[in-house]
Amino acid sequence: MTRTRLQEIGLGAMPFAGLLAAWWAITNLVHVSMATLPSPAAVWAAASGLWSTGELQTDILTSLGRIALGAGVSIVLGIGLGLIAGLNRPLGDLLLPLASFFNSVSGIAWIPLAITWFGLGTVAVTFIIVNAVFFLIFFNTVLGVRSVPRIMEQAVRTLGGGYRELILHVFLPGALPHIMSGIRSGLGFGWRALIAAELIAATSGLGFLIYDASNFLRSDRILTGILIIGVIWMIIDNLALKPLERRTVERWGTVRTL
């Protein structure tokens, strides 16, 4: 690890350390009720408690399962439909305005309808996640496919390539930087939609954990949940999505992404 990288990490930790210090100071020096602002120690105790009963693990796994499922469905649908809409102009002209409008009906607005159709639970939550993630992947796939220079397609065709070769060797790789970018931003919306959906439409998961805790004024549990929600997304984004996006651009992209 280079010295500048170490410097970066050190500097980056400072605001967090400052926040933690301020938090500790406020709760230990000023009289603040447990409901308003529990001390760091109280939050740690709540976290350990939830961990020891297994509740925390269950909730984390439930939420991760739902986002994975939602992401998987969205990626398959998004790339699939995106390829079709990108390659076939008339179909694209049909699908794109519809997709734009449905995208405006932000995923979260689907929550009451999802509850009506699927009741509370994983199906509803996953449905809502797909509604939040799918569109960005779809749009970016279309953009990526359409931005592949025609000459590549023509080259493969003159060499006798059929549709399968074209898709596998020209369009998918060509569109990959855009697709990866779409997956990353889409999942950003998806993670938010997951929490919102679990707040309202579920009886398990991290979103439900913090909402349930608020009904009992258990701010220590709320903060535990909030921190874990933030940390998990940081891990997913920084350790998986961002490097993946960067490597895809390095490998396949001179095209600027959305």
Partner 1 sequence: MATVRVEAAEAGRELGAPAGLDRLRRVLARAGRSLLPFALLLAVWWAVEIAFRLSPAVLPSPWQTISATWPLIQRGILPDYITSSLTRMAVAGLFGVVAGVPIGLLLGSNRYVSVAFAPFLNFFQALSGIAWLPLMLVWFGFGEKTIQAVILYTVFFPVAFNTMTGVRTVPLHYAHALRVLGADRLRLIRDVWIPGALPSILLGLRLGIAYGWRALIAGEMVVGAGGIGFLLFQARSFHQTDRIMDGMILIGLLWLLIDLGFLRPVERATVERWGMLQR
DSSP 50-94: HHHTTHHHHHHHHHHHHHHHHHHHHHHHHHHHHHHHHH-HHHHHH
Shortest distance, position 107 Cβ to partner 1, whole Å: 7
Contact criterion met (CB below 8 Å) for 85 and 92: yes
Nearer of residues 208 and 252 to partner 1, judged by Cβ: 208
Burial 161-187 (b: 16+ CB within 10 A, else e): beeeebbeebbbbbbbbbbbbbbbbbb
165 sits near partner 1 (criterion: CB under 8 A): no
6 sits near partner 1 (criterion: CB under 8 A): no
Contact criterion met (CB below 8 Å) for 157 and 170: no
User: Interacting stretch for partner 1, rule CB under 8 A, among 66-74, 147-155, 157-165, 207-215?
Assistant: 207-215
106 sits near partner 1 (criterion: CB under 8 A): yes
138 sits near partner 1 (criterion: CB under 8 A): no
211 sits near partner 1 (criterion: CB under 8 A): yes
User: Interacting stretch for partner 1, rule CB under 8 A, among 56-64, 68-76, 93-101, 155-163?
Assistant: 93-101
Burial class (CB in 10 A: 0-12, 13-18, 19+), 203: exposed
Q: Which residues bind to partner 1, rule: CB under 8 A?
A: 7-8, 11-16, 19, 35-36, 93-95, 97-98, 101-102, 104-113, 115-117, 188-189, 191-193, 195-196, 199-200, 207, 210-211, 213-214, 217, 219, 222-223, 225-226, 229-230, 233-234, 237, 256, 258
